[in-house]
Amino acid sequence: MVLGFISQPSIAGLQIETVSYDECMTTSLGTDIQCSIARSLEVLGEKWTFLVIRDALSGSTRFSEFQSSLGIAKNLLADRLATLVQFGVMERRSYRDEGARERHEYVLTDSGRELVYAVGALLAWGDSHRPTELGPTRILRDAVSGERVRLAFITDSEEIVPQDRVLAEIVR
């Protein structure tokens, strides 16, 4: 269905010119503000955030670990972690190394660990469609059996449904 151009003061365009990357985050994405995909991206859609999650899923918890892995400016990393804490993706905990001052570590919550599906999908897509000569950098495995795992769509009765048969029904 072609709705034609709707009247839109070019707010998005102005943002790009005048507002920093950070401030863009709070802007709802798209006219469908109820869309769960857009709502996920409001938390996760900023540059670096998925890589913070990636590292957290691999066991990083300390600011310095994220910082050295990502090579990201400290103020940006602090902002990203604060957003993830704010939205319940990570929990901030105190720790103190012997003789050192108190610091904080960032631990994925249950909600954060569920992002393994999104990160796994980005990993698989990159491996398939933006491969390098060196091959994959990460392989997903069942920690119990050691077998490789991949993402699939399944029904409630655990039948696997091929990707090209999956449709998104728009409910409202």
Q: Among candidates 90, 65, 66, which has minimal Cα distance to 76? A: 66
Shortest CB 42 distance to its own copies, Å: 8
Number of residues that bind its own copies (CB under 8 A): 115
Residue 49: how many other CB atoms lie within 10 Å? 20
Which of 78, 85, 91, 113 lies at the binding interface for its own copies (CB under 8 A)?
113
Pairing of strands 160-161, 102-108: unpaired
Through-space distance between the first and last CA atoms of the chain, rounded to whole angstroms:
15
The only residue of 26, 98, 100, 155 in contact with its own copies, by rule CB under 8 A: 155
Mutual angle of helices 116-129 and 49-57, in 10-degree steps: 100
Does 94 bind its own copies (CB under 8 A)? Our answer is no
Q: Is 99 in the site for its own copies (CB under 8 A)?
A: no
26 binds its own copies (CB under 8 A): no
* DSSP 8-state assignment for residue 105: E
Using rule CB under 8 A, residue 121 touches its own copies: yes
Q: Should residue 111 be labelled a site residue for its own copies when binding is judged by CB under 8 A?
A: yes
Closest CA to 13 of 33, 32, 27: 27
- Position 138 contacts its own copies (CB under 8 A): yes
Task: Tell me: does residue 139 bind its own copies (CB under 8 A).
Answer: yes
Q: Which of residues 52-71 bind its own copies (CB under 8 A)?
A: 54, 57-58, 62, 64-65, 67-71
